Amino acid sequence: MGNCLDSSAKVDTAQSSHVTSASAVSKNSSRTSNSSAPSSLTIPSYSDRSGVSSLPTPRTEGEILSSPNLKAFSFNELKNATRNFRPDSLLGEGGFGYVFKGWIDENTFTAAKPGSGMVVAVKRLKPEGFQGHKEWLTEVNYLGQLHHPNLVKLIGYCLEGENRLLVYEFMPKGSLENHLFRRGPQPLSWSVRMKVAIGAARGLSFLHDAKSQVIYRDFKASNILLDAEFNAKLSDFGLAKAGPTGDRTHVSTQVMGTHGYAAPEYVATGRLTAKSDVYSFGVVLLELLSGRRAVDKTKVGAEQNLVDWAKPYLGDKRKLFRIMDTKLEGQYPQKAAYTAASLALQCLSNEAKVRPRMADVLATLEQLESPKSAARVSHSEQQKAHGHLRKSPMRPHRSPLNQIPSASPLPSHRQSPRVY
């Protein structure tokens, strides 16, 4: 969720016929001051818990907030649940605000003593005006209605005066971004990386194949949260958008997203389709393979942009090792890595139509995970891979996954450059 810009006052299913050009969108337009709960917002609705529903009908703010699946918390309750938003309860920081660890009673959902009851993550919106409110409401709308094992569960919200908060299930391993790019946690093994890719693909696939399609629009490593077993769940639905309906091929919308992840045609024209999410998925798959960020300003020249840098290697079996994450230390099945890289390449196609559907992406990844394919990690293949890569003199001993540290208690000092 975050600091993207979309100045339209309504979130609805109507697709405007004119295209908003990316160049017309300012980088950091000022926000209006935060007015309390404008009641004119309308957002698409989904009529059942599976996401399979009739065409979305806009819902008013009142309807969204009265969702039977969500608890309306008072600010005081959440203050108590997080020990007054104490800095040592901080789980992270994003464009939207700060995320704190809290405790609530699992039956009554009232604040519980730290260490007892159920752990939750409480996201507190920075007071940043109407855009923030709109994204907050969009998130409440979608997550109040869509339920799937690969979407983070929204437990409730708080709307009180200027305060906007969201209460989620706690994801003990934090975000994929923390694990891939931060120093500290054990590097993710190949099989965990594939498990995460599959979980995230299932989440996207579910959204795209719902009877009323949802385009997620903010697929990136920091929005993929991990539970204790590294099951991936998508979070942050503030930018989600209803897919095109009827004969329409796309939704025209103001360009929002994150540098390095957003599809080129969407950035250039504002034309949004589910294939924009597929492109972003390709970027994350590339991050999983390479251990590099989509955009890395610490690198020089062409290496700053992961897609530009890696693309030439993805379709070449003999060169692929050059982009593979050295933290894997060669411990991956080469054939599976090549298949995953080829899949990433298809997702990253400049032509949206050529990109596979998420259901096909998922099917390919699931095949890779099958034991048959995993068994192909022959000793000789590993040796070969090691031969090409810098390696430590001793084969690394991988600790059990449950020893990987949980979500970092420190605030994130890096925020994705959300721009458009």
Ligand X SMILES: Nc1ncnc2c1ncn2[C@@H]1O[C@H](COP(=O)(O)OP(=O)(O)OP(=O)(O)O)[C@@H](O)[C@H]1O
Query: Rounded to whole angstroms, how far apart are CA atoms 273 and 332?
Result: 33
Beta-carbon contacts of 389 under 8 Å, excluding residues fewer than 6 positions away, are: 321, 324, 326, 329, 330
225 binds, among ligand X, Mg ion, none (CB under 5 to 8 A by kind): ligand X
242 binds, among ligand X, Mg ion, none (CB under 5 to 8 A by kind): none
Query: Rounded to whole angstroms, how far apart are CA atoms 359 and 205?
Result: 5
Query: Rounded to whole angstroms, how far apart are CA atoms 136 and 142?
Result: 10
Residue nearer to ligand X on the CB measure, 231 or 235: 235
CB of 295 to ligand X, least distance (A): 13
Residue nearer to Mg ion on the CB measure, 89 or 223: 223
369 binds, among ligand X, Mg ion, none (CB under 5 to 8 A by kind): none
Query: Rounded to whole angstroms, how far apart are CA atoms 376 and 185?
Result: 28
Angle at 82 between CA 79 and CA 84, to 5 degrees: 50
SS3 label, residue 159: strand
407 binds, among ligand X, Mg ion, none (CB under 5 to 8 A by kind): ligand X
418 binds, among ligand X, Mg ion, none (CB under 5 to 8 A by kind): ligand X
254 binding Mg ion? (CB under 5 A)? no
- Applying the rule CB under 5 A, the residues between 94 and 123 that interact with Mg ion are 94
Residue nearer to ligand X on the CB measure, 120 or 214: 120
Query: Rounded to whole angstroms, how far apart are CA atoms 311 and 216?
Result: 24
**Tokens found for residue 13:** 């299913």
Q: 103 pairs with which residues across the strands?
A: 119
Beta-strand pair 224-226/59-60: unpaired
**Residues in the chain, total:** 420
Residue nearer to ligand X on the CB measure, 359 or 401: 401
- Ordered alpha helix ranges (H), 17-112: 61-65, 75-81
206 binds, among ligand X, Mg ion, none (CB under 5 to 8 A by kind): none
**Tokens found for residue 84:** 């007054």
Binding interface with ligand X (CB under 6 A): 1-2, 91-96, 99, 121, 123, 152, 168, 170-171, 174-175, 177-178, 222-223, 225, 235-236, 407, 412, 415-416, 418
**Tokens found for residue 152:** 């983070």
82 binds, among ligand X, Mg ion, none (CB under 5 to 8 A by kind): none
Query: Rounded to whole angstroms, how far apart are CA atoms 277 and 368?
Result: 21
SS3 label, residue 388: helix
Binding segment toward Mg ion, per CB under 5 A, in 78-86, 91-99, 195-203, 266-274: 91-99
CB of 226 to ligand X, least distance (A): 9
353 is in an annotated binding site: no
Report which of 118, 237, 96, 245 is spatially closest to residue 172, judged by C-alpha positions.
118
Query: Rounded to whole angstroms, how far apart are CA atoms 272 and 383?
Result: 44
CB of 230 to ligand X, least distance (A): 13
177 binding Mg ion? (CB under 5 A)? no
- Applying the rule CB under 5 A, the residues between 198 and 237 that interact with Mg ion are 223, 236
Residue 286 sits at φ, ψ, to 5 deg, of -65, -40
Active site residue 12: no
Residue nearer to ligand X on the CB measure, 225 or 328: 225
Of all residues in the shown chain, the one whose CB is closest to Mg ion is 236
Of all residues in the shown chain, the one whose CB is closest to ligand X is 94
CB of 139 to ligand X, least distance (A): 10
Query: Rounded to whole angstroms, how far apart are CA atoms 218 and 284?
Result: 11
Residue nearer to ligand X on the CB measure, 126 or 299: 126
SS3 label, residue 222: helix
Q: For residue 43, what is the enclosing H or E element?
A: strand 42-43
CB of 172 to ligand X, least distance (A): 7
Beta-strand pair 154-160/224-226: unpaired
CB of 239 to ligand X, least distance (A): 9
Binding segment toward Mg ion, per CB under 5 A, in 86-94, 133-141, 142-150, 354-362: 86-94
325 binding Mg ion? (CB under 5 A)? no
Residue nearer to ligand X on the CB measure, 165 or 385: 165
138 binding Mg ion? (CB under 5 A)? no
Which of 12, 48, 218, 247 is labelled catalytic? Answer: 218
CB of 168 to ligand X, least distance (A): 4
Q: Are 109 and 71 in contact (CB under 8 A)?
A: yes
Tell me the binding residues.
Answer: 123
Residues in touch with Mg ion (CB under 5 A):
94, 223, 236
The catalytic residue positions are 218
Tell me the binding residues for ATP.
Answer: 123
